[in-house]
Amino acid sequence: ARASGDIRFVGVTLRYKDDAAAALQDISLRVQPGETVAIVGTSGSGKSSMVNLLPRFRDPNGGQILLDGVPLQDWNLGALRSQIAFVSQHVVMLNDSIAFNVALGQQVDRLKVTSCLQAANLEKFIAELPQGIDTLLGHNAMQLSGGQRQRIGLARALYGEPALVVLDEPNANLDDEGEAALVRAVQGLKGKGKTVVLISHRPGVVSVADRLLILHQGMVQASGPRDGVLAALQKQREQALAAANAAQVAPPGAAPAAN
Ligand code: ADP
Ligand code: MG
């Protein structure tokens, strides 16, 4: 059965080694079915660690993660993983047709391939290829841009009809056009009712998120509906700036005496 894509993290802690500092500490998050959440934070803040817990690539040391109200460890592992599509920065292409690369490991249903490519915002790109979805990729074949590659990865992810789509820094090497295409693709996923977890830095991409989770050193710095979190971050920035200015303009007498 298809999950609805309701995700909950409850006080999740993760340590890669018993004696290591926690990579994730007391993380809580609720994502409703069909919502898009963006996880934002500097490199090493724990973003990938967090999403890698969803298909149980690892289990947390503390706390609980639930999909559709059921703890992950109570799901059949194969059933759980079939609900979750992962798109990372490194989409591997096989030396075969676009259709084969989208269906990857499953029987090629041409209509379904086309609809997944459409959902990944590659419709126009495919329409301009003389061989369409039969165009060969790989050596001797066409060069894909980084953005096209990622969107083929997205189409591949959709082919499995997941409830949940995870995009881990999909836009690291994208130009503006690639970013706009990705944003439209995420909007397409939302239109299909998918729950989307998006790891990204780009403000343009964050704008499609319904909610934001800001991670800092494995802890939640801010979390909630997008606009509220953005406003809180802006306020923090202004306060930090005001504090820095106030420190610079020290009251007379407080300055150290010049020799
Ligand atoms: P991000 O995706 O935000 O860049 P990561 O989740 O990759 O952050 O990393 C968070 C922390 O966990 C970092 O300190 C990183 O070194 C550590 N870490 C990530 N993966 C592993 C691993 N497989 N083994 C040990 N430490 C890891
Ligand atoms: Mg990462």
Q: What is the pLDDT of residues 55-83, one digit of tens each?
A: 999 999 999 999 999 999 999 999 999 99
Would you say the C-alpha torsion 70, 80, 23, 186 has a positive or negative sign?
Answer: negative
The tens digit of pLDDT for each residue in 193-207 reads 999 999 987 777 888
pLDDT tens profile 173-190: 677 777 888 888 888 888
Q: What is the DSSP letter of 215?
A: E
Please report the pLDDT score of residue 53 as a whole number. Answer: 97
What is the distance between the alpha carbons of residues 171 and 25, in angstroms, rounded to a whole number? 26
- What amino acid is encoded at 2 in this protein? R
Q: Say how far apart CA 154 and CA 199 lie, in whole Å.
A: 14
- CA-wise closest residue to 145 among 119, 169, 122, 116: 122
Tell the residue nearest (CA) to atom 17 of ligand 1.
23
Q: Indicate if ligand 1 lies below 6 Å from the C-beta of 39.
A: no
List the residue whose alpha carbon is closest to atom 20 of ligand 1.
49
Q: Using CA positions, which residue lies closest to atom 26 of ligand 1?
A: 16
pLDDT of residue 169: 83
Using the atom order of ligand 1, give the atom closest to the CA of residue 168.
2
> Nearest bound ligand to CA 17?
1
Mean pLDDT (the chain) is 89
Query: What number does the ligand 1 atom closest to the CA of 17 have?
Result: 25
Q: Give the closest residue (by CA) to ligand 1 atom 10.
A: 46
Residues 6+ apart with CB under 8 A from 12: 24, 26, 27, 28, 50, 53, 60, 62, 63, 64, 65
Report how many helices (DSSP H) and strands (DSSP E) the chain contains, helices first: 9, 10
Ligand 1 neighbour 45 (Cβ under 6 A): yes
**Given pLDDT bands bounded at 50, 70 and 90, which one contains residue 258?**
low
153 to each of 43, 110, 191, 192, 211, how far by Cα in Å?
A: 23, 17, 19, 17, 24
20 lines ligand 1 (CB under 6 A): no
**Amino acid (1-letter code) at residue 123:** E
pLDDT reported for residue 58:
96
Antiparallel, parallel or unpaired: β 70-71 and 24-31: unpaired
Q: How far, in Å, CA of 175 to CA of 42, rounded?
A: 20
Nearest-angstrom CA–CA distance, 76 and 221: 33
Which of these, 57, 68, 65, 60, lies nearest to 34 by C-alpha position?
68
**Hey, which bits of the chain come out as E strands?**
7-14, 24-31, 36-40, 62-67, 70-71, 84-87, 164-168, 195-199, 211-216, 219-225
Cβ atoms within 10 Å, residue 104: 19
